[in-house]
Amino acid sequence: MRLFVGLGNPGAKYQGNRHNIGFMVLDEIARRHGFAPWRRRFQGETSEGHIGNGRVILLKPTTYMNESGNAVGEAVKFFKLSVGDITVFHDEIELPPAKLRVKIGGGIAGHNGLRSISAHVGNDYRRVRLGVGHPGVKELVHSHVLNDFAKAERPWVEALCEAVADNVALIVTGQDASFANKVHLAMQAKGFGKDGDESGPKPPKN
């Protein structure tokens, strides 16, 4: 069994925020793979289904970002999962828009949702980092992630969610590099995330 966690904040106010791209990806996975209706439990919303031959639980914590680990910890305990069974989908300001990277463990780069999860279950879970770009100035990061995607950004956001959902079976079977490559190629085919396209403000150097 795998636990897929999407990070975001609950409520209509935050629905279109960059910080909520993890929720958006899980909604598309549930839709694309015919998962059961969402229901409330574990301080969040869950949906169950199968991807390939694997059983997958989708979890959207509804505790607000800073307490995401509460929901993840409850689900892990209930299903008796190991940290290696967890994949977290989250926004990543250090990646350009429409880019994606996968890693296991590592730092949290100031992401409060990851910080909370690591405090509850340890640090060695898989992260699918979904690039939302950096505003270019550290002081603007908070408002950047808590603002909605601009209308001009929505096509690539939808394309990225679809590419992740289409290829997520590779995550279930542990083929992380193949998954990332398939998503990259799918985004290129749709005209997004081309090699060398690093336009937009860059993160400040330390």
Catalytic residue status for 90: no
Count the helix, strand and coil residues of the chain and give each as a percent rounded to the nearest 5. 45, 20, 35
Beta-bridged to residue 57, according to DSSP, are 3, 48
Task: Please count the other Cβ atoms lying within 10 Å of the Cβ belonging to residue 23.
Answer: 22
Helix residue ranges, H only, 3-153 = 21-32, 68-79, 112-121, 141-145
Amino acid at position 117, single letter: I
- Structure tokens belonging to residue 94: 């250090």
As a residue count, the chain comes to: 206
Which residue out of 19, 90, 111, 184 is catalytically annotated?
19
Render the burial of 161-183: b for 16+ CB within 10 Å, e for the rest: bbbbbebbbbbbeeebeebbebb
- Please identify every residue annotated as catalytic: 19
